[in-house]
Amino acid sequence: MDSSDLLSKIEAVEHSIDLLKAQLEDKQPKISISNYKSALQPIKCLFIESLKLEAHGDRVYSLSWAGGDLAKKFLASVSGDGRVIIWNSYTGNPSCEWVVKDTNPTLMTCAFEKTTSQLLATGSFIGKCYIFQIEMNRKKKIEGKNKPLMAFQAHQGYLSSLSFITPKNLVTCSGDSTVCLWDLPKTDLPVHKFEEHTEDVMTIDTCKANPYLVLTGSCDKTVKLWDLRQQNSSGNSYSHQGDVNCVKFLHDSNNTFLSGSSDGFIRLFDIRALREVGVYNVGRGVEALEVSKSGRIIICGTDRGDVMLWDIINEERSLQNLPGHSDKTTSVELSPDGIHLATSSFDNTVVLWQHAHT
């Protein structure tokens, strides 16, 4: 069999697969989250700007609220100037900060270890991971050691996102198209490297109901679901028409999640339905996602600086548009109590929003 015959057979098989997928799609029940709209009361949600934090001298790429004893009061942000700032959300002033000095100090992501918040992990444009240790002194003020507790080369490309699974386990993803699981303080080699994505991996989220379940989104236009105790993904890919920039599990669910893309859509997937169950037309590139504890409110940040709120059961229009930034919104995250929303942007700022009861 020559190469042309082989290619013809491959094309025929691929065509048959597409036909089978179309037939399966036709026979599946039409499930949509909007079907529940008539059974639930309309929801009102309003956030108002409370503080603008402006100590960074360059683009702010990421932020993270603290957990544990530091919850509600403190959050961290990182930026292109290499600065790591921990903010007092009550006063809007920096409480602690570090400056990373390297060949390229740009920091692209950060995440607290949420149980105690004594560790803060950050990732850089050159693929390095820096982990800082944070302590509370007798006056209940936070202090950080002068140097990172750990610093290691995690990836060969930019480190785009990371998340703690436990105080000793960290998962990272990168522009080198890989996802790595680390067993700290061992940093010479990852426990495992996951290599199923074919382009830059932009985002990662861990499941609160089962921290070993992880979502990743990539410039290969797919979302993958992983069980870190296994060597491969679940085998199912969930697709967009553009780069997948953000993913988010719904709280206390290991079946339902959101993804946002440069194609201008947020998609709601339920793995039990084997398909998307909600589609939200944002109309501009989606850069960041958050969801309320109730699962009712979706919050997204866009490439134009908007912060938009959606009722998850209403795919037709958004609840509120917060015009808080003049450049791309890079992170959106609710405080642990759900009262405050923090957003970061390429306009060099972090903005705090307060939930206004209506």
Instruction: Write out the DSSP string of 170-226.
Output: EEEEETTS-EEEEETT--SS-SEEE---SS-EEEEEE-SS-TTEEEEEETTSEEEEE
Q: What is the pLDDT of residue 180?
A: 96
Q: What is the pLDDT of residue 328?
A: 96
User: Would you call the peptide bond into 185 cis, given omega within 30 degrees of 0 as the criterion?
Assistant: yes
Q: What is the pLDDT of residue 312?
A: 87
Q: What is the pLDDT of residue 333?
A: 97
Q: What is the pLDDT of residue 26?
A: 64
pTM of the model: 0.87
- 163-174 as b/e: b if 16+ CB within 10 A: bbbeeebbbbbb
Whole-number Å distance between alpha carbons of 190 and 210: 21
Closest CA to 180 of 172, 169, 188: 172
pLDDT tens track of the chain, all 358 residues?
Answer: 677 777 777 778 877 877 776 666 666 656 666 655 555 667 777 788 889 999 999 999 999 999 877 777 899 999 999 999 999 999 999 999 999 988 888 999 999 998 888 899 999 999 999 999 988 766 667 766 678 899 999 999 999 999 999 999 999 999 999 999 999 999 999 999 999 999 999 999 999 888 889 999 999 999 999 998 887 887 777 888 999 999 999 988 888 999 999 999 999 998 887 778 899 999 999 999 999 988 889 999 999 999 999 998 887 888 889 987 999 999 999 999 888 999 999 999 999 999 876 5
Measured between its terminal Cα atoms, the distance across the chain in Å is 71
